[in-house]
Amino acid sequence: MNVKRWLARRETDWKHLDTLLHRVEKRGLKTLKAGEVKELASLYRSISGDLARAKTNGVGQNITQDLQLLTSRSYSQIYQGAKHQEWRSIRDFILWRLPKVIQQTWGYIFLATSLLVGAGIISWWYAGRDPVYMALVVPENLITLVRDEGKLWMGSIVGVEPLASSNIMQNNLSVSFGAIGGGITAGIYTAFLLVYNGISIGAIASLVAQHNLAIPFWAFVFPHGAIELPAIFFAGGAGLLIARAILFPGKYNRVNALKYYGYLAAQLTLAIVPMLIIAGIIEGFISPNPLIPDIFKYIIGTSIFTLLVMYCRRTQTGRSN
């Protein structure tokens, strides 16, 4: 290789890359135009090749070091910039896109909520009037504990909080993903899970109310339920979105409807997982804690639910770029 001719031909590109890098290092990658970003990436690839040639042909330590520095600077700016953009996209999704999706799919979430809450109210009313129904819905050991001993069952969590929290998360995730996946049954399984859980909650609420344990029971439920139940409602809404695509594709053909509504359901799912993890931690460590007075548990639950509602109502009005 003719080193002098090679240097004369390539030195212009090196200087140009150095100029672009100085701009990026001082003011960030966003200061470059789209064409300049492509040029930066192209120059990085070509100069990486130059570095390999310089090492192979022994063109001199100074030139090799200069090329090594240029390559390292280019790599840092290109890939750190991409990583920064990725984190910015995640941040924007959490802060703005997800609340918009929740608002956009509110009708489906409301329907899922109505199925669970409606079933719960009916079950609560009927369980208070029919002991046979109560015995069919509520496990016998819970009835015995509440009716005969006047106790709730949450104390079993105390002392085994990490294990209990993990099991709670797994159970809630299983129910939620079942509700989401149930959409492929045209929503039948989704509706079944929502109604089934509503029936169970309603009957248990009736049982504790009959034996004057409603206040401590709801004090246990409020802290984690404020985020756990909305997560299940979101899961039900996601399942109903998929069912909508199958049953009523509307202006889309069924494949495109599944893509569109499935994408909305997938975005809701991204909210459900962290919500249930947080709920599981609260249910394992805060809700059953006998050292926390009931009034504070009600305050914690109310505060969490209020913050969640405020988050779901977020809009991009007045957002600064």
128-132, 153-157, 187-191: the lowest-pLDDT one: 153-157
Q: In Å, how far from its chain's centre is CA 123?
A: 31
Q: What's the CA angle centered on 264, arms 259 and 267, to 5 degrees?
A: 120
Distance CA 1, CA 56 (A): 10
Specify the amino acid at residue 99. Answer: P
| Contact predicate 183/175, CB 8 Å | no
174-215 pLDDT per residue, tens: 999 999 999 999 999 999 999 999 999 999 999 999 999 999
Q: What is the pLDDT of residue 246?
A: 95
What's the pLDDT score for residue 60? Answer: 78
pLDDT computed for residue 203 by the predictor? 96
Q: Are 96 and 316 in contact (CB under 8 A)?
A: yes
**Higher per-residue confidence, 5 vs 235:** 235
pLDDT at 312: 94
In the chain, the N- to C-terminal Cα span, in Å, equals 51
Task: Tell me what pLDDT residue 182 has.
Answer: 96
What is the pTM for the complete model shown?
0.73
Q: What is the pLDDT of residues 78-112, one digit of tens each?
A: 776 555 556 667 788 888 889 999 999 999 999 99
